[in-house]
Amino acid sequence: MRKSSAIILITAALSGSCSLTPPLGQVDSQTSATFPGKTGGTLAPDIAWQKFFADPRLRQLVSTALANNRDLRIATLNVEQARAQYAIARSDLFPSVSASGLGERRRNVGPPGITASAVTFGTYDVSVGLVSYELDLFGRVRSLNNAALETYFATDAARVGAQIALVAQVANQYLAERALLEQINLAQKTADGMNDAYDIMKKRFDVGTVSELELSSMEIQRQTAKADLAAFHQRKQEINNSLVFLAGGSLPSNLPAGRSLDQVVLADVKAGVSSDLLYRRPDIREAEYQLRAANANIGAARAAFFPSVMLTTSTGTASRNLTQLFGPSSGTWNFAPAVNIPIFEGGRNRANLEVAKLREKSSIANYEKSIQTGFREVADGLATRSGLAERISATEALVAAQQKRTDLATTRYEKGVDSYFEVLNATLDLFNARQRLIQLRLARAINSVELYKALGGGW
């Protein structure tokens, strides 16, 4: 075979190969085309997290966490590792070209005493060639390359999912801290009121106008308010520790002032249509890429049933004299294809193909599950938002009614119409109603964050 024929064969092998990867059919997600109870607002993908969070303190906390969080750093390094693995797999598509040079001088000595028979000669060789290159006739190498590429895409989608999850975690902890500040303020006012009321009642008890039962009841409520206040402070410190962990270090000392939950802290979002989740949510995209990678591995497993051709070829010059190394008639070439035909593998290839098919089925199920999970999270978020709006409205009316009751009970007590038990009960009910309102406002804010996350917004 001439050298030109070998080059033609190599070029043909590099330019095209058949693929045994099966076509990927349509996956049925079994979900509705629309979300129930959609409300107005801006689509989540159109709102960057910097605009979604209206609180400047929260924005700076999120920015700090995105820059320093260790889990996010690990996710980013995983992407870089997957990219390197893809580069390794892609390199198998191209031949490995090497150059070599050899020079040798040798002296052969004849029998003892016959110096004239000693001969000195040289051997010189320079060559360039392919080293063990597989002709991808049945697409095995290309299928593995495609699988590595889809795995890289899946890893990058996982990184985006980690970013969205981190943003949501920071926001939820910050909102919980905002709620605790309001609860601490309310509990402090209640405790101060209880202390003042106890001092007044203690003086009346000393002069005999108040019974010991009333004084004991007042003492119980005073200590209860004190214990509640200590619990709120403990919880606030725990949340601060959580924020430090999420931020990857100490919180910035120049954080701006934050907003309360009854102020505009978050932008409003709407869901759109369910098919949008396929393009927004990183977990769904990750599952899709994993499915494509599993499908590509089937092609590689199928190709293992067919012969593989390993090619080693080189061309260069060789001579017994260095001065004639590049002279006429010194050219050399080598063409050595090696064909490997699977005859008996003990069922290995068939088992590998079965494993690849089962992994694809598992990836299909995981893909379908991720779609259904995304749809449910959005639907639940919309339902929760609607229910919270009604509960907050009712609780605000309850707080107003409890405030009116407390004012009336205090007036009647001061006029001697009722005992202080009426004032005490009304005050405690007002405190509980206000605490419930704070919790509902917190739940509404967290629901907005979770809905924003479920819709895949911000990235």
What is the helix (H) or strand (E) element at residue 102, kind and residue range? strand 97-108
Tokens of 241: 């520790």
Compute how many other C-beta atoms are within 10 angstroms of the C-beta atom of residue 366.
17
Give the pLDDT of residue 250. Answer: 87
Give the pLDDT of residue 253. Answer: 85
Domain ranges of the chain: 32-93+138-300+368-454
Q: What does CATH list as the number for 32-93+138-300+368-454?
A: 1.20.1600.10
State the pairing for strand pair 308-319/331-340: antiparallel
Give the pLDDT of residue 100. Answer: 66
DSSP letters, 235-285, are: HHHHHHHHHHHHHTSSPPTTPPP---TTS--B--EE--BGGGHHHH-HHHH
Tokens of 451: 């809905």
Tokens of 244: 């430090």
419 vs 442: CA distance, rounded Å: 36
Q: Is the torsion defined by CA of 368, 369, 373, 379 positive or negative?
A: positive
Tokens of 195: 């202390």
SS3 category, 34: strand
351 vs 349: CA distance, rounded Å: 5
Q: Is the torsion defined by CA of 353, 354, 359, 362 positive or negative?
A: positive
CB-based contacts of 396, cutoff 8 Å, min separation 6: 437
324 CB-side CA count, 13 A:
9
- Beta-ladder partners of 101: 126
- Give every residue of the chain whose pLDDT is below 70, as ranges: 1-17, 25-45, 97-133, 272-275, 311, 314-339, 341, 343-346, 458-459
Q: What are phi and psi of 307, to 5 degrees?
A: -65, 145
CB-based contacts of 387, cutoff 8 Å, min separation 6: none
Tokens 């985006």: give the residue: 160
Which pTM value belongs to this model? 0.79
What is the DSSP code (8-state) at residue 206?
Answer: H
249-266 confidence digits (pLDDT tens): 888 888 888 888 887 778
Give the pLDDT of residue 121. Answer: 59
CB-based contacts of 421, cutoff 8 Å, min separation 6: 214, 217
